[in-house]
Amino acid sequence: MTQISVPVVRNILQANERLAAANRKRLEDAGIYAVNLMSSPGAGKTSLLERTIEHLGGRIRMAVIEGDLQTSQDAERIQSKGVQAVQINTDGGCHLDGNMVQIAMDSLDLGHLDLLIIENVGNLVCPAEFNLGEHDKIVILSVTEGDDKPSKYPVMFQQSSVLLINKIDLLPYIDCDVEKIRRDASRLNARLEIFAVSCRTGEGLEAWFSWLEKNVQEHKK
């Protein structure tokens, strides 16, 4: 790394921290609980959102900010469930930042919300380094990605409050040691809550719904 690039990176991260803090203040003032949902592409972020909306949508007023490189397909999937959704296209950018989320929040009706879910760009690396103002980070890892991911991408697991191990209905067909994932992830982060789920069959999702609902109630004004 050159001598110039280190301060540049530090400045970018510091500017982002200020925006994230401002976003957090707006959320707190409105009594909204917010999570930042992260995973690699195809691990099941949008499917988890659909399940969560089906289960909690009647009781909790929620909105979704969808981050994607291109297209508004995911926001359309969410809107078709009757939930406010804003799409951010990063145009090649591999993570969301505080500024993008601030702009997206401007188009949400914050006065009538209890829960904001921010679906980050599919990427296991830098989304973990950019705070958005969320209260908790959630990482989804699907069993098809292999059981070596916590040790290969430690920051994501260190920064998150919850790990959802998804697609457990596929375990009979693949070599993936879920206990190894649990062990390695817990070693990186002792306070990590781990739920093994299948967004396809619904198995295990009750524990996630309860966790989320408890946090929403605690942040309500």
Q: Which stretch binds Mg ion (CB under 5 A): 32-40, 42-50, 82-90, 102-110?
A: 42-50
Q: Which stretch binds Mg ion (CB under 5 A): 30-38, 39-47, 133-141, 205-213?
A: 39-47
Task: Based on the shown chain and the rule CB under 5 A, indicate whether residue 50 belongs to the binding site for Mg ion.
Answer: no
Q: Which does 137 bind (CB under 5 to 8 A by kind): Mg ion, Zn ion, none?
A: none
68 has which bridge partners?
89
Contact 164, 140 (CB under 8 A): yes
Question: Is the CB of 119 or the CB of 184 nearer to Mg ion?
Answer: 119
Restricted to residues 66-95, the positions that interact with Mg ion (CB under 5 A) are 74
List the single partner that 74 binds among Mg ion, Zn ion, none, CB under 5 to 8 Å by kind. Answer: Mg ion
With contacts defined by CB under 5 A, name the span among 14-22, 43-51, 86-94, 140-148 that binds Mg ion. 43-51
Q: How far is the CB of 100 from Mg ion (least distance, A)?
A: 16
Sign for the CA dihedral angle at 175, 36, 66, 76 comes to positive
What are the residues facing 136 on neighbouring strands?
Answer: 35
Q: Residue 43 and residue 50: Cα distance in Å, rounded?
A: 14
Query: Residue 51 or residue 122: which is nearer to Zn ion going by CB?
Result: 122
- Three-state secondary structure string covering 36-88: EEECCCCCCHHHHHHHHHHHHCCCCCEEEEEEECCCCHHHHHHHCCCCEEEEE
Nearer to Mg ion among residue 74 and residue 213 (C-beta) = 74
Which of these, 142, 140, 206, 135, lies nearest to 168 by C-alpha position? 142
Distance CA 162, CA 193 (A): 5
Select from 28-36, 44-52, 139-147, 166-174 the region that touches Mg ion (CB under 5 A): 44-52
Query: In the complex, which residues of this chain contact Mg ion (CB under 5 A)?
Result: 45-46, 74
